[in-house]
Amino acid sequence: MMKQNDNSTKAFIFDMDGVLVDNMRMHAQSWVDLFADYGLSGLDPERYLVETAGMKGLDVLRYFLDPSISHEEADKLTELKDILYRVMNRHAIVQMPGLEAFLDRAAGAGIRLGIGTGAGPKNIDYVLGLTGLTPRFEAVVGAHMVSRGKPHPETFLQVAERLGADPASCIVFEDALPGAEAAAAAGMSCVAVTTTNRPEAFSAFDNVIATIDHFDGLMPETLLELSGTAKTMS
């Protein structure tokens, strides 16, 4: 259910892959393996991470494989890639260090929690189920729920709407450059998580208020002060 936006409501919106769990290189290797089967050899997983991490499967396939690929074929290939990812990495999916305590602190401070991800429903259920994070978030928006994926702001704007928070009162946690760009386009502050990109890769984004390697010791109130959204906290 959508809630009426309120600039006094604070929200933290998390990308999933590479933020809640450190798994983006697992996704990258699965894409590379799939592309090799379709004649695209020599693709470096690092190139996927820098250029397309966080994008919807359709956009990744059009970027690397075929600019005119149909939605139906893209869905089929994305599902094949996701099967590879889930089969190969089931025992490696764990929460980021310090995440549970950080979510507790944020929830205790009255901050609403949501997820805005480029993943589809099966991967969302897979990651949140394996890590026990499903009940922690009030709103989850995935690739199947938007018409335009990151770097378009639609994903994050939809999460904010579902949480009842004004975009200016939201802080996004992102590991990917298209995600940081989407947060900026949505008018949201961003915390860069360095699982996928080096800290300097985010230097072009004026909305990045902090850069972190993990959540250990991170205080929600500090981030609110850095983003300028703490003033209206009750």
Of 92, 123, 150, the residue at which a domain comes to its end is 92
Classify each residue of 165-188 as buried b or exposed e, where b means 16 or more C-beta atoms within 10 Å of its C-beta: bbbebbbbbbbbbbbbbbbbbbbb
What residue type is 197 in one-letter code?
N
One domain for residues 54 and 166: no
User: Is the predicted pLDDT of residue 135 greater than 90, yes or no?
Assistant: yes
Question: Would you place residue 90 in the very low, low, confident or very high pLDDT band (cuts 50, 70, 90)?
Answer: confident
CATH number at residue 85: 1.10.150.240
Name the residue range of residue 50's domain.
24-92
For residues 93-105, average pLDDT: 97
Of 48, 74, 92, the residue at which a domain comes to its end is 92
List the structure tokens of 214: 């993990």
Mean pLDDT of the residues in the chain? 92
Whether the full predicted model's pTM is greater than 0.75, yes or no, is yes
Q: Is the peptide bond before 151 cis (omega within 30 degrees of 0)?
A: yes
pLDDT at 66: 93
User: Is the predicted pLDDT of residue 91 greater than 90, yes or no?
Assistant: no
212 three-class SS: strand
Question: Would you place residue 232 in the very low, low, confident or very high pLDDT band (cuts 50, 70, 90)?
Answer: very low
For residues 68-90, average pLDDT: 93
One domain for residues 198 and 102: yes
pLDDT at 4: 66
CA–centroid distance for 2 within its chain: 21
3-class SS letters over 90-133? HHHCCECCCHHHHHHHHHHCCCEEEEECCCCHHHHHHHHHHHCC
For residues 138-164, average pLDDT: 97
For residues 145-150, average pLDDT: 95
One domain for residues 102 and 205: yes
Distances (CA, A) of 190 to 34, 114, 173, 219: 32, 14, 6, 15
Classify each residue of 198-233 as buried b or exposed e, where b means 16 or more C-beta atoms within 10 Å of its C-beta: eeebbeebebbbbbbeebeebebeebbeebebeeeb
Whether 2 maps to a domain, the answer reads: no
CATH number at residue 164: 3.40.50.1000
pLDDT tens, position by position, 183-195: 999 999 999 999 9
One domain for residues 120 and 187: yes
Higher-pLDDT residue of 48 and 19 is 19
pLDDT at 98: 98
Of 51, 66, 92, the residue at which a domain comes to its end is 92
d(CA 17, CA 9): 25
Whether 1 maps to a domain, the answer reads: no
Q: E strands within the chain?
A: 11-14, 112-116, 139-141, 170-174, 189-193, 208-212
One domain for residues 114 and 186: yes
pLDDT at 2: 59
